[in-house]
Amino acid sequence: MALERSDYLSDVWREGIFNDKVVFCTGGNGTICSAQVRAMVHLGANACIVGRNVDKTESMAKSLMTARQGSEVLGIGSVDVRNAESLNQAVERCVKELGGIDFCIVGAAGNFLSPLSQLSANAFKSVIDIDVLGSYNTVKAVLPHLVKSASTSTSGPGGGRLVFVSATIHYTGAPLQTHAVVAKAGVDALSANVAIEYGPRGLTSNVIAPGPIAGTEGMERLGRSEDREANMKRIPAGRWGTVKEVADATVWLFSDAANFVNGSVVVVDGGAWRTNRMATGGKGMEYPDFLLGGGRVEGVKGLKKEKAKL
């Protein structure tokens, strides 16, 4: 089903500014990343999204094609960003079928709530592997194609641009988020080093750090519905963000308007990170009582069910 432009893109952008460009996106079947790709497709780009779930990824690709008549969007499932060979094969298919890669959105991520005392080594490693190793594998796979795009672009916005989807929790630290804090700090550092080493080759590498964005899986996993109104009051902008606002930031970073923006972090959170982070979790999980009492996280999406004890 086609979405209204106002759901994912502001009116300020001129039609066709990304004509003949190709965007590659990991995590492209997610709520935020799909909006980023949809905005690019609407403005002329073709796209390739990859994900682990075959049906979800292919279905999202079909949905993204409705953003512009005549667009091409590949949806490649069974791709695990932790597996470099899996990513390399997806990148090769993208280049073969769409002609190259000009832009890359590095968006695959994992997260959940857990106090450090209950965070297993495997759980910690899983998030690090998806966010940090997965981002690294993506970068290694697409860099040759981005370098080629940067050196051969002759019309429209220059190619050779990376955008990493990160977060803001590592700016201050956040209870119940040790794994994600460490992972996102690594993602930001990776982006900065890509900017330093590949800037001389014509590439730009930047980070978009979304805050609390309405209607996303992240909001479901990291908070309970009954706590959200109270938490919203702590956001200086006085509301949740929208996926359109993240997509607009993406379009800006990929457009000629951001030609001299490199190694930067664009925070899209209404000022939320500057207010009290200790609210993480909501009622019944208040800092520091919840941690001192040894409680378990309950009532949020994505938690593993406890095995029955015999």
What's the 3-state SS for 141-158? Answer: HHHHHHHHHHHHCCCCCC
Average pLDDT across the chain, whole number? 90
Instruction: State residue 310's pLDDT score.
Output: 43
231 vs 97, higher pLDDT: 97
Instruction: State residue 78's pLDDT score.
Output: 97
Q: How confident is the model at residue 169 (pLDDT cuts 50, 70, 90)?
A: very high
283-292: pLDDT as tens digits: 666 766 777 8
The answer to whether 263 and 205 are in contact (CB under 8 A) is yes
Look at residue 281 and tell me whether its pLDDT is greater than 90: no
Q: Is 184 an annotated catalytic residue?
A: yes
Mean pLDDT value across residues 209-235 = 74
C-alpha–C-alpha distance, residues 198 and 201, integer Å: 5
48-81: pLDDT as tens digits: 999 999 999 999 999 999 999 999 999 999 999 9
Catalytic residue among 184, 191, 205, 255: 184
Count Cβ atoms within 10 A of the Cβ of residue 275 and give its class: 0-12 exposed, 13-18 middle, 19 or more buried: middle
C-alpha–C-alpha distance, residues 160 and 143, integer Å: 8
Look at residue 305 and tell me whether its pLDDT is greater than 90: no
Of these ranges, 93-97, 212-216, 304-308, the one predicted with the greatest mean pLDDT is 93-97
21-292 has which CATH code?
3.40.50.720
Worst-scoring range by mean pLDDT, 39-48, 130-139, 216-225?
216-225
Mean pLDDT value across residues 157-161 = 84
Domain boundaries, the chain: 21-292
117-137: pLDDT as tens digits: 999 999 999 999 999 999 999
226-264: pLDDT as tens digits: 666 667 778 889 899 999 999 999 999 999 999 999 999
Instruction: State residue 104's pLDDT score.
Output: 98
Q: Is 10 an annotated catalytic residue?
A: no
Is the pTM of the predicted complex or chain greater than 0.75?
yes
Instruction: State residue 286's pLDDT score.
Output: 72
Instruction: State residue 54's pLDDT score.
Output: 97
